[in-house]
Amino acid sequence: MRFVIVTGMSGAGKSSVLKMLEDAGFFCVDNLPIKLVKKFVKLIMQGNNDKVALGLDIRSGQSLDELDAVLKDMKNIGFCYEILFLDCSPEVLVKRYKETRRIHPLSQSGRVDKGIELEREKLDFLRKKADIIIDTSHLLIRELKTQIDTIYVEDEDFKNFMVMILSFGFKYGIPADSDLVFDVRFLRNPFYISELKDKTGMDETVSKFVMDSDAAMQFLNKLEDMLKFLIPHYISEGKNQLVIGIGCTGGKHRSVTLTNELAQRLAGLGYGIKTEHRDIEKD
């Protein structure tokens, strides 16, 4: 039997994941009181369900503190379980709460960001126990579903470390959630070439122009080498996602080209790779 505990930050997508798992044939229960978890386990052990998902989160209140002991008891009786932790950056969570106008469970009389901070502290023990951590900060619903299907339907190995490479234009501001930011405005600018000005780094003629220089190749080689060094250290410190911002003036030519080139180089390292071109459609 496959028993998955779905937990994580409020607003990170737990309800959506439980629906996805239900569609995939899992028997799903959400927000079960902690005191009933062991009884629930005994019941499903006697039943015929071979795929079960249980949603547990901060809504359990003070009784969440008892969950650690419950999980140890489950291991002691030889009951196997997996923990799926859904994470998300504070900035994105605040934005989601503002858009939906929902109240965070721990900030009913205060600020949302303070509630998120407190929730992260209370759920830290579950994050440390998690078998799989999915950061939904940059995931669309369909992308999240693809990851859930990969893990729980196709039963494939999940790449627990995600590298997001994000192109942007400095004229529109630096992405707030970037962990590393690189400025490629030192490279030749296709904007000043009439036949390239209205194209983007997605066009072969533009990417060829940008990469046809020693400076671009040297920069890419050094950046690739540095990331090969850094990423294993980030992983050992418990980080599960790295957001790399690559910026040029408008975010349409040089940064797009370098983002795509870097993604190709990192693709074979065993990490999840995702690219996004934030400002490519802007004037």
| pLDDT tens digits, one per residue of 156-187 | 666 668 899 999 999 999 998 899 999 999 99
Domain C-terminal end among 117, 152, 187: 152
Distance CA 257, CA 101 (A): 38
Residue tagged 């937990």 (tokens):
7
* Joined tokens for residue 241: 């996602």
- Pair (109, 212) in one structural domain: no
Give pLDDT, residue 101: 74
- Total domains in the chain come to 2
- Pair (166, 147) in one structural domain: no
- Pair (49, 118) in one structural domain: yes
Domain housing 266: 162-277
- Pair (11, 129) in one structural domain: yes
Give pLDDT, residue 194: 94
Task: Give the DSSP letter of residue 59.
Answer: G
Residue tagged 């990192």 (tokens):
266
Tell me the average pLDDT across 38-57: 90
Give pLDDT, residue 104: 80
Q: Does 266 have pLDDT greater than 90?
A: yes
Q: Does 238 have pLDDT greater than 80?
A: no
Cβ count near 230 (within 10 Å): 14
Q: Report the chain's mean pLDDT, rounded to a whole number.
A: 91
Nearest to 115 by CA among 63, 59, 176, 33: 59
Q: Count Cβ atoms within 10 A of the Cβ of residue 54 and give its class: 0-12 exposed, 13-18 middle, 19 or more buried.
A: buried
- Pair (147, 176) in one structural domain: no
Task: Give the DSSP letter of residue 280.
Answer: T
